[in-house]
Amino acid sequence: MFFKSKKEKAQKAETAPVIEKKELLYRENIRTGCAPATKQEAIMAAGKMLVKTGYVEPEYAEAMLEREKTCSTFMGNGLALPHGVEAAKKRVLQSGISVQTFKEPIDWDGNPVRIVIGIAGVGDAHLDILAQIAEAMLDEEVSANIADYDADKIYKVLTGKE
């Protein structure tokens, strides 16, 4: 039968696993004052945080490295926003971000980077995430100093929450 009855749909809904909606950013996904790293190490660390928090499957971190081979995720002002290639979208379980700040700039294809925000977005959610980050970074004081903020201040800036 092609069509299911309301009773069958209700039974399926009752047995479907309930997935708890995650916050876009958790404090545990913010690491400040990180030791110097290569671009690849920073990307893998960002991906591993996303995996550990349940936002993505492990393969997504590799897809973040793959994206970097075709298009740099350097955004300017010491900021890089690594994310996976389009084909890796199926590896994103829920939208989320991870944040790393570095004491000293790391080399991102010849550009100095002190803040790396790993992004995983379900569907087109990555566009909303990018807009949210861009809005926060439009504040000149924030963009100039965010790499020196502690985790609580970064959390507040990026989420608007205490």
Of 93, 86, 99, the residue nearest 26 (C-alpha) = 99
Task: Please check the confidence at residue 27 and state whether its pLDDT lies above 70.
Answer: yes
Task: Please check the confidence at residue 97 and state whether its pLDDT lies above 60.
Answer: yes
Tell me, what's the pLDDT at 130?
86
Q: Are the C-beta atoms of residues 41 and 50 closer than 8 Å to each other?
A: no
Tell me whether residue 15 is in a domain. Answer: no
Tell me, what's the pLDDT at 138?
87
Tell me whether residue 16 is in a domain. Answer: no
Tell me, what's the pLDDT at 134?
87
Pick the catalytic residue: 83, 91, 114, 126? 83
Domain that holds residue 76: 22-159
Q: Match 């997504």 to its residue by tokens.
A: 60
Tell me, what's the pLDDT at 22?
83
Task: Please check the confidence at residue 2 and state whether its pLDDT lies above 70.
Answer: no
**What is the residue-averaged pLDDT of the chain?**
88
Strand runs labelled E in 3-149: 30-34, 74-76, 79-80, 96-108, 111-120
Q: Are the C-beta atoms of residues 82 and 46 closer than 8 Å to each other?
A: yes
Task: Please check the confidence at residue 60 and state whether its pLDDT lies above 60.
Answer: yes
d(CA 47, CA 52): 9
Percent over 70 (pLDDT), the chain? 88
Tell me whether residue 83 is in a domain. Answer: yes
Q: Match 């980077």 to its residue by tokens.
A: 113
Quick one: angle between helices 151-159 and 125-137, nearest 10?
Answer: 120
Q: Are the C-beta atoms of residues 51 and 57 closer than 8 Å to each other?
A: yes
Tell me whether residue 2 is in a domain. Answer: no
Tell me whether residue 32 is in a domain. Answer: yes
Tell me whether residue 1 is in a domain. Answer: no
**pLDDT 10s digits, 61-82:** 999 999 999 999 999 999 999 9
Q: Is 126 an annotated catalytic residue?
A: no
Of 125, 101, 132, the residue nearest 114 (C-alpha) = 101
Tell me whether residue 12 is in a domain. Answer: no
d(CA 123, CA 37): 30
Tell me, what's the pLDDT at 117?
97
Q: How many domains does the chain have?
A: 1
**pLDDT 10s digits, 81-90:** 999 998 899 9
Tell me phi and psi for residue 130, to 5 degrees. -60, -40
d(CA 132, CA 96): 12
Tell me whether residue 3 is in a domain. Answer: no
Q: Global pTM?
A: 0.85
CATH assignment of the domain containing 28: 3.40.930.10
